[in-house]
């Protein structure tokens, strides 16, 4: 007697939970042979707004965590991904990768997580400064995360594109609402399951599936998104985003690297979503005593 396998329902990930889209709609991405892969949530603008609420709520706690602790958590994601690699390889192959390419993509994703895990307590040392102002003040500039960052993930990549765009942003203490690749969404949903078992507090990374066309305006116009990273490939959508972003003076960054490239990682991708804060503090110089020793 053959056993009937249990199929997975691909849901979205908001605030650490797996709801279905509030719209109740779905779409069916196809595999290489033109066969439907699964019924995936077609997220609505309301889902995006819910995700932003969850991300905003999580921002304070995440940005105030010690940099070291954020690093530990990112490293834990890498450990969990390594443990579940076969599932990702399988899904990548379902979506058209060769076995070799799928394994390479998972390897690269794990190593990239480890890479950014190491940056959490170091980028500050690279980009901050003590400024030698001429007056008697102690003056220093440090980086602080921007807040809630929207991400439109690359269309042509399922896992490494997602990891390469969102991880530097959360490494820097931001929270993220990401729209996964429309054509290749499976790994994004499975990655959410990895996140949920990796000590990542709910709401830090929120993952939606659906179409860029439908959600791009909301990414641009939402007044509580501080910045958006656009890694899509539609010039028209990118311009729409830029125009609407102006109403809330939103920072818009374009992801220009090929995520599958081993060198598509650097701390400037963290810096892109940081503000610079400068503090002035007087230095009292009472008796004019010098330190001649």
Partner 1 sequence: MNKNQSTKWNLDPAPESAGHVQLKTQYELFINGKWEKPNSGKYFDSINPANEEKLASVAHADENDVDKAVKAARHAYENVWSKLSGKERGKYLFRIARLIQEKAREFAVIETLDGGKSIRESRDIDVPLAANHFFYYAGWADKLEYAFPNRPVKSLGVAGQIIPWNFPLLMAAWKIAPALAAGNTVVLKPSETTSLTALKLAELIEESGLPAGVVNIVTGYGDTGSAIVNHPDINKIAFTGSTNVGKMIQKAIAGTDKKLTLELGGKSANIIFEDAPIDQAVEGIVNGIFFNQGHVCCAGSRLFVQEGVAETVIQKLKDRMDTLYVGDPMDKNTDIGAINSKKQLETISKYIQIGIQDGNEIYQSNCALPSNGYFCKPTLFIDVAQSSQLVQEEIFGPVLTIQTFRTVDEVIQKANNTPFGLAAGVWTDKGSKIFNLTSKLRAGVVWANTYNKFDPTSPFGGYKESGFGREGGLHGLEAYLG
Site of interaction with partner 1 (CB under 8 A): 67-68, 71-72, 75, 111, 114-115, 117-122, 125-126, 138, 267, 281-291, 293
Give CA 86 to chain center in angstroms. Answer: 23
175 near 201, Cβ under 8 Å?
no
- To which H or E segment does residue 205 belong? strand 205-208
Give the nearer residue to partner 1 in terms of CB position, either 2 or 285: 285
CB of 35 to partner 1, least distance (A): 38
* CB closer to partner 1 out of 51 and 106: 106
Nearer to partner 1, 72 or 155 (CB): 72
Q: Is 254 helix (H, G, I), strand (E, B) or coil?
A: strand
Quote the least distance from Cβ 125 to partner 1, whole Å.
Answer: 5
Answer for the pair 175, 227: CB distance below 8 angstroms, yes or no: no
CB of 284 to partner 1, least distance (A): 4
Nearer of residues 111 and 214 to partner 1, judged by Cβ: 111
CB of 267 to partner 1, least distance (A): 6
Work out whether strand 129-130 and strand 137-145 pair parallel, antiparallel, or are unpaired.
antiparallel
Measured from the CB atom, is 43 or 120 closer to partner 1?
Answer: 120
C-beta of 286: minimal distance to partner 1 in Å?
5
Q: H-helix or E-strand containing 150?
A: strand 148-152
Radius of gyration for the chain, computed over Cα atoms and rounded to the nearest angstrom: 21
């Amino acid at each position: 007697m053959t056993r009937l396998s249990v199929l997975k329902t691909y849901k979205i990930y908001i605030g650490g939970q797996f709801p279905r889209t509030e719209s109740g709609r779905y779409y069916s991405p196809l595999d290489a042979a033109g066969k439907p892969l699964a019924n995936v949530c077609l997220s609505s603008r309301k889902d995006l707004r819910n995700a932003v609420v969850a991300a905003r709520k999580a921002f304070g706690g995440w940005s105030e965590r010690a940099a070291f602790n954020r690093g530990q958590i990112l490293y834990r994601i890498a450990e969990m991904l390594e443990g579940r690699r076969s599932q990702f390889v399988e899904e990548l192959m379902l979506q058209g990768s060769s076995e070799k390419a799928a394994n390479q993509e998972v390897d690269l994703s794990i190593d990239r997580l480890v890479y950014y895990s190491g940056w959490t307590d170091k980028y500050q040392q690279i980009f901050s400064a003590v400024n030698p102002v001429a007056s008697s003040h102690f003056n220093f500039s440090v980086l602080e995360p921007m807040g809630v960052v929207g991400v439109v993930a690359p269309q042509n990549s399922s896992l490494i594109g997602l990891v390469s765009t969102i991880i530097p942003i959360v490494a820097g203490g931001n929270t993220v609402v990401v729209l996964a690749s429309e054509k290749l969404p499976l790994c994004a949903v499975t990655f959410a399951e990895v996140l949920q078992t990796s000590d990542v507090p709910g709401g830090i990374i929120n993952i939606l599936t659906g179409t860029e066309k439908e959600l791009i305006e909301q990414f641009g116009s939402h007044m509580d998104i501080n910045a958006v990273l656009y890694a899509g490939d539609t010039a028209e959508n990118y311009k729409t985003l830029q125009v609407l972003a102006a109403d809330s003076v939103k920072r818009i960054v374009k992801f220009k690297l090929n995520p599958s490239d081993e060198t598509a990682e650097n701390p400037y991708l963290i810096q892109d979503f940081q503000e610079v804060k400068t503090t002035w503090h007087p230095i009292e110089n009472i008796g004019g005593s010098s330190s001649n020793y």
